[in-house]
Amino acid sequence: MDEDDWGSKSRLRVLLEHFSRIEDPRDERRILHPLPEILLLVVCGTMADCDDYENIAAWGAAHLPFLRRHLPYAHGVPGERWLTILMNRIDPALFSAAFTAWVRATFPGRADFVAIDGKTSRRSHDRRAGTAPIHLVSAFATTSRLVLAQEAVPDKANELAAIPVLLDRLGENGGLAGALVSIDAIATNPTIAAAIRGQGADYLLAVKANQPTLRAELEAAFAVGDGADHHHDLDKGHGRVEERHVSVIREVDWLSGTRRFPGEMRLPDVAAIVRVHTTAHIADRTRTDTRYFISSAPLTAEHAADAVRGHWGIENRLHWVLDVLFKDDLSRLRTGHGAKNMAVVRHFALNLIRAANDQKSLKTRRKMAGWSDDYLASLLNPAIP
């Protein structure tokens, strides 16, 4: 093993340490390919522009000397069939927990904005077995553009079942303290709001038609507009001009205390309400949209604009990248835990690729990681700041 590749405190070294702590479900007397070797192979192969087990196994066989710089690989690398079997057996909860712990250890510094949103791997369903595609709820640091954690939605449930588990994992050892956590309207309820506040964070929750009474109250408040703070920004590009007018009202005592309707929903510690009015000019068309949010943080209009824009950005900075660059929507993994575990592998790979200190695109970085062992090593081995 090359000591330079370990480094005194590199992301690779910490990665291998966390892989070694994941429980291996196999009989240790029959293990030819230890679990850390398998996980390092799939992460490196995924970074190196391989999007299925067949290509990952082929890449590993061709780059065995590189892999042996880090771990023994005494029996070489497993083939496609064994990779499928082994990745199906790993406990996805343990793997996700290892991912979160690795991110916290190797990308120090707390996130200021955290967007939580779900994504479906559309081809991971199995019609013959009657199973739905996997749906993963991810936490994304919108400023640093890092995936922080993920949690699979249980079968026959919705995102609300996964969000509290995700918040608990993120909040360990004060990991969410001081952050502003944004979630779409599905999570606009007292339970989720209280869970966020319980982690020492503030919430920014969308208010849509699923909360008609609350939305009507917010619309009425902004119709009067007393004491509102305002911010305006303009985006131009790709034949599109988008104007955003953000208004914030921080005098919201009327949302707490004795309310007017029995059983009316009350969110804890409300400190601001937000309205975002967007006008998009595209060619000969103009489209307008108005969205409302509620927050426990006393936001300025400019701060609210940054947070809302950051939450919308999860679509093209995470979900779009996973679909277009990593072919997540085309993955046909349908049995065992393979689909969930490979979704986590893509998050490992994306964080490592995105952290590179060069001007190349993410697509080019993946290509170069497949072409050059030295470049792949540079992605794996930077010292932790």
pLDDT number for residue 256 = 76
pLDDT number for residue 336 = 63
Query: Are 73 and 101 found together in one domain?
Result: no
Query: Are 107 and 80 found together in one domain?
Result: no
Q: How far apart are CA 314 and CA 320, in angstroms?
A: 8
Residue 4 has pLDDT above 60, yes or no: no
Query: For residue 53, what are the contacts with CB-CB under 8 A and spacing of at least 6?
Result: 80, 83, 84, 87
What band does 213 get if pLDDT is binned at 50, 70 and 90? confident
Mean pLDDT, rounded, for 372-380 = 95
pLDDT number for residue 2 = 44
**Residue 327, domain member (yes or no):** no
Q: What is the pTM of this model?
A: 0.89
Q: What is the mean pLDDT of the chain?
A: 87
Question: 265 with 190: CB under 8 angstroms?
Answer: yes
3-state secondary structure at position 346: helix
Mean pLDDT, rounded, for 68-89 = 93
For residue 305, count other CB atoms closer than 10 A to its CB.
Answer: 22
pLDDT digits (tens, 9 = 90+) for 99-153: 999 999 998 777 899 999 988 765 554 555 545 567 889 999 998 899 999 998 8
pLDDT number for residue 1 = 40
**Residue 330, domain member (yes or no):** no
Query: Are 204 and 128 found together in one domain?
Result: yes
Query: Are 116 and 197 found together in one domain?
Result: yes
**Residue 328, domain member (yes or no):** no
In this structure, is the dihedral angle defined by the CA atoms of residues 291, 296, 301 and 303, taken in order, positive or negative? negative
Query: Are 277 and 180 found together in one domain?
Result: yes
pLDDT number for residue 7 = 40
DSSP β-ladder status, 240-249 and 180-183: unpaired
Query: Are 296 and 153 found together in one domain?
Result: yes
Residue 295 has pLDDT above 60, yes or no: yes
Strand partners, 117: 138
Write out the residue range of the structural domain in which residue 278 sits.
97-321
Percent of the chain with pLDDT over 90: 60
Question: 43 with 63: CB under 8 angstroms?
Answer: no
CA distances from 66 to 60, 76, 375 (A): 9, 12, 12
Residue 280 has pLDDT above 90, yes or no: no
Query: Are 279 and 162 found together in one domain?
Result: yes
Q: How far apart are CA 366 and CA 360, in angstroms?
A: 10
pLDDT digits (tens, 9 = 90+) for 224-248: 877 889 999 888 766 678 899 999 9
pLDDT digits (tens, 9 = 90+) for 34-72: 999 999 999 999 999 998 999 999 999 999 999 999 999
Query: Are 310 and 345 found together in one domain?
Result: no
Q: How far apart are CA 372 and CA 348, in angstroms?
A: 19
Question: 290 with 277: CB under 8 angstroms?
Answer: yes
Query: Are 30 and 77 found together in one domain?
Result: yes
Residue whose token pair is 């067949």 = 54
pLDDT number for residue 330 = 63
Number of domains within the chain: 2
Query: Are 157 and 227 found together in one domain?
Result: yes
pLDDT digits (tens, 9 = 90+) for 162-209: 999 999 999 998 999 999 999 998 899 999 999 999 999 999 999 998
